[in-house]
Amino acid sequence: MYDLRLWLSKKGSLKYVSHLDMFRLMQRAVRRAGIPLWYTEGFNPHPYISFLLALSLGIEGEGEPVDLRIVGEMTPEEVRERLNAVLPRGLSVVAAAPPQDKPAAIAFGRYDVYLDPAQISGAELQDVLAGGGLTCQKSGKSGHKKIMKTVDVSAQLREWQIEEKDGSLLLHVVLPAGSTVNLNPLQLLEAVSEKRGAPVYACSAVRTALLKADGKEFR
């Protein structure tokens, strides 16, 4: 028995599949692929499948980590090949290897966000991001009640870079993605839209990597 970390690419229409539905999809795929998983003990045993960090709806992922516990001698490469044979279009296992880092080490997400330059220029976007005062509304809890709270987005911006690419404006940005603070690029654009008084929408957004607190890639 050994622990195995899969890295999933989630693209196209699969970006609209929720975290809970992704879990159900993987359960079915593992059964169809004949992967020998370890099952939890107790009254209602279930296969050990752990998505380490939820990906927000509408955002694609190039390397989303999922942990499995394999029983027997099936190799990581065979697990990858078997799963890719049964996963739907838009979802694939790009790598499989024993985990190197603990899930709690995840601190940031690195994103590529494509924007329409007709909505905002690179110079204006740079000014807005550098000017501070960016806030957005996020849902939270106070006791058992759901509330909306204001988040200081500017304080969460770690780094960013703006470039023009293939007729689009491409924003490379690093945002908090840990278990305590989490901000996605769509919320960042909400804050940008609020500050400038005009909407800015993402043509597409992709999480390209997860990072540890020291800036190194989570593995």
Question: Is the distance from CB of 205 to CB of 186 less than 8 angstroms?
Answer: yes
pLDDT at 185: 95
The band of 142, judged by pLDDT with boundaries at 50, 70 and 90, is low
59, pLDDT greater than 80:
yes
Q: What are phi and psi of 128, to 5 degrees?
A: -65, -45
Q: Which domains does the chain have, with CATH numbers?
A: 2-99 (3.30.70.580), 104-212 (3.30.70)
The pTM score is 0.91
**pLDDT tens track for 27-45:** 999 999 999 998 877 777 7
Strand 168-176 versus strand 159-165 pairing type: antiparallel
Please tell me the distance from the alpha carbon of residue 166 to that of residue 212, in angstroms, as a whole number. Answer: 31
Please tell me the distance from the alpha carbon of residue 129 to that of residue 12, in angstroms, as a whole number. Answer: 28
Across the range 155-164, mean pLDDT stands at 93
